[in-house]
Structure 1
Amino acid sequence: MNTGEFGWRSSAWQKLVVIILVTALFIALELVVHYGFGIDIIYTHFFYPLLILAAFWYQRRAVYLGVFLAGAHITVEYLQNAAIEPGVLVRAMMFIAVAYILGYLFELLERRYADYHSYLTGYTDRGADSGRHLETGEEGAGAAVHPRDLQRLIGNLQSKNPDVRYKAAEALGALKNPRAVEPLAALLADEESGVRWKAAEALGQMGRAAVEPLTESLSDPNVDVRWMAAVALGDIGDPRAIDPLLKALEDEDTYVRSRAAMALGRIGEPARDALIAALRSEKENVRWGAALALGSIGGESTIEALIRTLDDASPHVRHRVIGALDEIGSPAIPYLIRGFNACTPTSCQSIAEAFGGIGRPAVEPLTRALRDGRWEVRAGAAASLGEIGDPTGVDALIESLDDERPEVAAAARNALKQMKKL
């Protein structure tokens, strides 16, 4: 739709003639007011109806008229007074600003009108032909959708209206037609964050057909494209994305790395071995991401690998490993207790912190561990009960104050102090 359809149905040259004549009229009126009546302020209001008309017809191009009027205003003032006062410059700048702002608003209004008209009439075309509207909610609907409807939806992804792009992406996601994959992948770079998110969600609904373009998007220069691609790959859960997502754990952006890790966690079991291997990476960010992902996967081999990583040189990684063990929860308890047998001071403290995150479910196993034959386990259990802070462990800790090993007694004493029971 052109400007003439939105505004008056007049030709371009007729509009130009009107603008020129009205401009000449207002300039003449300005001169009459200036030289005939000596009024030097109120005349500027004469130009604003002209700017409104120009903005209505020409949108932001009306700023050219604003510049012309500003120049004319300054020139007349200089010819009359041989000087230019600050107020004159302010009024001149107002011409330019008003022309641009009004033009932008009219342009926005025209786009919204045009896009919604196209969007609404597009969905009624098929209804007129077949007696029903396009259905997008049924499983596998994309295979049977009319080509014209599909192409219209894909075309709407290029709309200037973000609401139309959003709705088109939503509908295409429900259709799950592979032809929409590439256009939706391009929409990951949309200027509107809501549209980008809906495109990622739609691609996640597409399944295997979207894996290749999404993995390519993991290396896009735009950070939003990268993390949204990672989210969509997690929704799909295809093992083909494992290696590209592992590579994305090295991304310079923290958010991209975390979304890639979460996507690997959603892929689950197929990614386990690669993630356990990644815990030994030389790159701290990769180890951190692997720990985050493994917390969602769990399992014996995962828990054992995470416990081995509790003495990682990086506090950042250790903290993430503790979080992963907390997420796994109760299944990790016996492995953590056994971990006290051969832990370093750093990993012993990390195990205790992990128990602190697991909380109440660990209290009973830890109180039993206070009677273990190995003093390292008893000391670790006492420290862990202090981290948890549950009062049901107090009696067992008081008994441990008389432990034959000073290390255990000291740990119990510190735990009780931590719980404010001493």
Structure 2
Amino acid sequence: MKFRYTKSVPKNNDNATAEILKAAANPKVISFGGGLPAPELFPVEEMKTAADKVFDKYGKVVLQYSEAIGYSKLRKQIIDLMKERKVEVKLDNVGIVTGSQQAIDLIARMLLNPGDVVITEDPTYLAAIDVFNSYGANIVGVSMDDDGMKTDDLEKLVKKYPEAKFIYTIPNFQNPTGRTMTEYRRKKLVKIAKDAEIPVVEDDPYGAIRYAGNYVPPLKHFDRDGGVIYLSSFSKILAPGLRMGWIVADKSFMNKFVMLKQNADLHTDNLTQYIVSQFLIDVDIKKHIKDITHVYEHRANLMVKQIDKYFPQNVNHSNPEGGMFIWVEVPGVGDTNELFKACIRNNVAFVPGSSFFAGDIKPGTFRLNFSNMNDDQIKEGIKRMGKSIAEILSDNKY
């Protein structure tokens, strides 16, 4: 049988995400690849208790169809979470999604026609790149430094591409670099977007996990005209298997969004929405996040220390103030995929930087995840990576 696929289906079977997960599944491999939270921090017993309460109170309700926009009680609780993040919203502005990944896909579906321009940080989240490509977008990258997206460069690109459909950004502990955008640049980005009448999609799955530096409000905090579409998730602060995220946007946008959401899956899992809502009643979420943050701070600091010990002295790496990732740049490595293969031979894995670039790929770059490995694994894994880097540099005669 010959299937006549649309242009949104990739022409080959290359799947960076699948390869990352495959490497992580090998028990011999110490994987710094997938952006996986620490499973020992999942609130299993608390979730079980919440589920029992939900079935006792609402058993027949939670097993029935529900509203596409989401469970109203959970949405009200999200309003409280947003207040903690210095964003005031109303119930009509909040919707529940099946992980923030679904929101990225639906927003792209709403706004993109083939050939339309999307402006992103470069590098950026690889699954967002995949989504935008699937809708035929022309992805234009904005360079970054330690302060996040370079807004001077963004301003130039907006003038070059005034028809751009939206700007996609991860301002907090960015995936893949771990960098955080300064407040000055956030304000400037919002102004640039407003003046150009280009919406901003702010993806903030990691923002609650800050363990250094000073809190910086989301872009949405500075938005006075409804131009910022804010996304977040319970994946990093509770558990990714819940597939539970949310969107905050202008009411007129939400009306359209909910229609497409309904077409996609009718509604996000009703039972899980009730369980998460009950969990937020039963458990001090601030303390839970604080416990996660403490562990991730330790692991991030340990990984940085090991990188400084075992990697060549001229290696550059980010120093994240939160989140789950460290970005590494190794001068002299011409093909990061060859380094990846060398690391796999030494039973350690990472994500090559090539997966994250919308524009020209910067060689010798890769992302490390520290949240899912214990101390011994971090120490041994980085040691193995240092050995692999030395092998590649030796082969290249550097």
Whether TM-score is above 0.5 comes out as no
TM-score (norm 1): 0.19
Structure with higher Rg: it is 1
Greater share of residues in strand: 2
Return the structure number with greater relative CO, CA threshold 8 A, min gap 6: 2
TM-score (norm 2): 0.20
Greater share of residues in helix: 1
